[in-house]
Structure 1
Amino acid sequence: MAAALAPESGDVQEAEGNKENGIAADYMIGLTYNKLFEHDVIDIDLAPEKWGVLTSHQEYFVKSKRFNSCVERRYTDFVSFHELLIATYPYRLVPRLPPKKLIGADTVFIEERRKALKRWLTIVAQHPILSADATTRFFLTYEGPKVHAKIQEIFRRMPDEFTTSCIASKSKELVKSVSPTLIANSRNQIQGILAGISQLKRISERMVARSQEYASDLSDIGIVMLEMSNDNQDSSEWAAKGNKIWEETKMGFKLVANEFNDLYAQASDQATVQKDEVLEKLNLLFDVLTAHQLLCERHEKGVAQDHQRALAKMLAFKKVKIQKSISGTDTETLERLEMRMMEQESIIADVEVRSAFSLHCMAQETQLVHTYLGIVTEIFNSLISVQLIGHSEMSKVWKGMQEKIFQCLPSNSETAD
């Protein structure tokens, strides 16, 4: 699976067969939503809080099914990794990291950031190109200290994707049929989808909040009923004139008060499942669509700055060999990489070719976004299942309570004419 999802970025075998389309499909050929999510499973758990001299910091246990690894990471490690991905793959879907809260981070913020980091790393670890990069392997497997500094030390001199890609020389050919109208229409379509997903995300957040409030209200009802049932003060003859309704009602309260604990548990479970199965999937898709928007913005700003940075890196590469400690990179691989750069020096110097390569990558990333859209059906299926199961279970509890209430109804009650 890994080999199928993560080919060499310069592999143009499929691209050659799709030249007539103008947009090469290469690594997207045969890539389905299910295959995408089977590539790697990422999990992130909170590690015990650690204290420095004056302040504490949060660490995370990061697990990768693909590498069968579990490593500890800090937020600053994610920042360094993100910076390297943006520098090496400026024309790929690299999601935005969640923000760092400098002071006063409460448990809610810490949990939400944990979920956001898990989504971010999931997108990276499932990406056909990013997942194959040595930087990703290093981040998911390195067990040494000071990860944020070490990863920068090893990989900061790595050339960007265009500089070493075999596909660079064919970029103009691959995008010759792509028109500005085609690009604009595709971007507008995804912007419309993003707007819709944003609305669904807000609605789902409100539904979760209402379910949590509903659960809390049910718990409060049970507490109030129990308190009222424990009222030991009997009604006086003067006040009730022999009417036993209140005494019988208090007995009924005792019978059904605990049932509200069951209702509270059911409603709480429904809120939790909806948050995990519906809202989190919406958040993941929202992150993917937002990453595409950021990619389009980078493309619109032009490739001039990227071009100058790449040329500077190429010159530096001629003078300084990349450290041999790069995970999975030996001397032979480094020499082959340097030779490829030298062979492509004239191509690399052509900013128009870089622009075409950027457009080709954006086409691939747009296809990847459409693959992710397969999650929409799963989201609605989860929503329906949550509602069906939740209401069905709660209906059983309500029905049991109703039968008990019927037994407690005063036998001598009268209705007004």
Structure 2
Amino acid sequence: MGLPQESLLISNGTLDGPVIRVEQIPGKKGAFLKHVEYEVISQKAQSSRRYNDFVVLHDALLQIFPTRLIPRLPPKKAMGVDEEFLGKRQKALERYMTILGRHPVIGRSGLFQHFLTHSGKDLQTSTKEKFKVEEFFSVNSPEYEHVRPGDWTSHLNEVKDRMINAEMSLQKIREIFEAIYLCSRDQVKNYMALNAELSNLCTTTTSPFVEIVNGIAVARQPYTGILGDVASEIASVTKQWLELANTEDEMFADYLLMMKDLMKGWKDFFARQSKYAADEQRVLEKALNAKKKDGADDIAKTTANAENRIKFSLLCLQQELSFIEGLLGPLVARFLQTLAGNEKRHFGKISNAWQDVEDVSSLLSMSNAMGGVAGLRSEPTAPASPREPHTPLQSPGINGKNPFLEN
């Protein structure tokens, strides 16, 4: 099995920042079962990783960065793993690493760099042993002391409503584009059918446009010949629609799946963020009530810590909003630019193909199906050489699975 093609998001430079590619290494066999390895290629290193290495990285990220946006790790499939599943997971892992690598905090963190560059066989053990401290404890208070929590619940709810609206719009865009993709596939099927029927009308054995010469039925020329040429031009139209459908499949699925990954990551982040802030708010309220009741000095430290953690979480919320805007904004812009350019280019080719159909079809009006040219019948002297039957189009290589239905 060859290495899969890298994501078009990366090869086209859609997302600014360091390039991180994930390529699937041809299958290796362990002591009992065949396992899959991935080559993680960054500007600093090229390392071989197993899926479980990604799992350990993900768990460590959630432990150290509970108030940061972390994309969902592609799932592990215990049974029924096939090449299609592995191909989708490879691309999903590349999107996962792309998002992490462009995060201004996580991408520069010791944990992430350790995953990229560590060359020993103890990656999982060393990751668990070296990286345990939550980000909050390594950040100086001046970075977040300016944050004023205020009514933090209202602030969180406002952000939540905005992101839910964005998620719904992106989902609708995905559904619309799915319909566009299916329409292109249907057009390929329609023009294949038209080509087949025109081919049937101009073949020697089935054409109704015949004349009897010396007791032999002969397909009438030049009418059937021109009709065969029209069928050939329809085949060119079909080819252009096929190219359009496959381009929509291969190119735009990457964009839409990256947007989907970002929104899933945001939903998970927001759920963690809300729980984090709510937990610290309960600690703060409990400490304040105890202080009012008992006047204990040691409670002041707990109160200050809870306040600082709430401030830090809200600072992270502001930073993550900027991060997702910095990724999502250019992604949507490039998606629309690519969509416009792709449709314009392919519909230009389709228009040219239809022009050829029109030009050839105009010759039919100069040929009389029941006689010679311009309605004048010439006396046949000998049977015309039979025209080679026009071969209808075979089923073309339309990508069979709908890429937009991927979970």
- Scaled by the length of structure 1, the TM-score of the pair is 0.68
1:69-100 deviations in whole A, cap 9, x for unaligned? 33333322222211111111111010111222
Residue 404 of structure 1 corresponds to 360
State yes or no: 1:199 paired with 2:175: no
SS of corresponding position for 2:322: helix
State yes or no: 1:186 paired with 2:155: no
Alignment of 1:305-324 (within 5 A): none
Alignment of 1:12-51 (within 5 A): 37-51=15-29
User: How far 1:355 moved relative to its partner?
Assistant: 2.6
Alignment of 1:16-165 (within 5 A): 37-64=15-42, 66-67=43-44, 69-145=45-121, 147=123, 149-150=124-125, 152-155=127-130, 157-165=131-139
| 1:366 aligns with one of 278, 296, 321 | 321
User: How far 1:127 moved relative to its partner?
Assistant: 0.5
User: How far 1:216 moved relative to its partner?
Assistant: 4.8
SS of corresponding position for 2:38: strand
Larger Rg: 2
Alignment of 1:278-357 (within 5 A): 278-302=252-276, 350-357=305-312
8 Å Cα contact 2:71-2:262 kept in structure 1: yes
User: Alignment identity in percent?
Assistant: 23
Residue 185 of structure 2 corresponds to 212
Residue 255 of structure 1 corresponds to 229
> What is the CA–CA distance in structure 1 between the aligned matches of 2:211 and 2:236, rounded to whole Å?
37
User: How far 1:281 moved relative to its partner?
Assistant: 1.9
Instruction: Call closer, same or farther: CA 1:49–1:301 in 2, change over 3 Å.
Output: same
1:334-389 deviations in whole A, cap 9, x for unaligned? xxxxxxxxxxxx68992332232122211211122222342323222222222111
- Scaled by the length of structure 2, the TM-score of the pair is 0.70
> What is the CA–CA distance in structure 2 between the aligned matches of 1:395 and 1:302, rounded to whole Å?
57
Instruction: Flag the structure with higher helix content.
Output: 1
- In structure 1, what residue type is equivalent to 2:144? S
SS of corresponding position for 1:350: helix
> What is the CA–CA distance in structure 2 between the aligned matches of 1:62 and 1:139, rounded to whole Å?
9
Between the two proteins, the alignment pairs up a number of residues equal to 335
1:41-62 deviations in whole A, cap 9, x for unaligned? 2323332122334433333333
Please, which moves more after superposition, 211-220 or 265-274? 211-220
Instruction: Call closer, same or farther: CA 1:36–1:218 in 2, change over 3 Å.
Output: closer
User: How far 1:302 moved relative to its partner?
Assistant: 3.0
> What is the CA–CA distance in structure 1 between the aligned matches of 2:360 and 2:62, rounded to whole Å?
63
> What is the CA–CA distance in structure 1 between the aligned matches of 2:134 and 2:102, rounded to whole Å?
20
> What is the CA–CA distance in structure 1 between the aligned matches of 2:303 and 2:126, rounded to whole Å?
26
Say what the alpha-carbon RMSD is for the aligned residues: 3.6
User: How far 1:403 moved relative to its partner?
Assistant: 1.9
User: How far 1:407 moved relative to its partner?
Assistant: 2.5
**Unaligned stretches of 5+ residues in structure 1:** 1-34, 308-345
SS of corresponding position for 1:45: strand
Instruction: Call closer, same or farther: CA 1:196–1:391 in 2, change over 3 Å.
Output: same
1:111-149 deviations in whole A, cap 9, x for unaligned? 3222222211111000000110122222223344464x3
> What is the CA–CA distance in structure 2 between the aligned matches of 1:379 and 1:138, rounded to whole Å?
33
Instruction: Call closer, same or farther: CA 1:145–1:231 in 2, change over 3 Å.
Output: farther
Instruction: Call closer, same or farther: CA 1:394–1:178 in 2, change over 3 Å.
Output: same
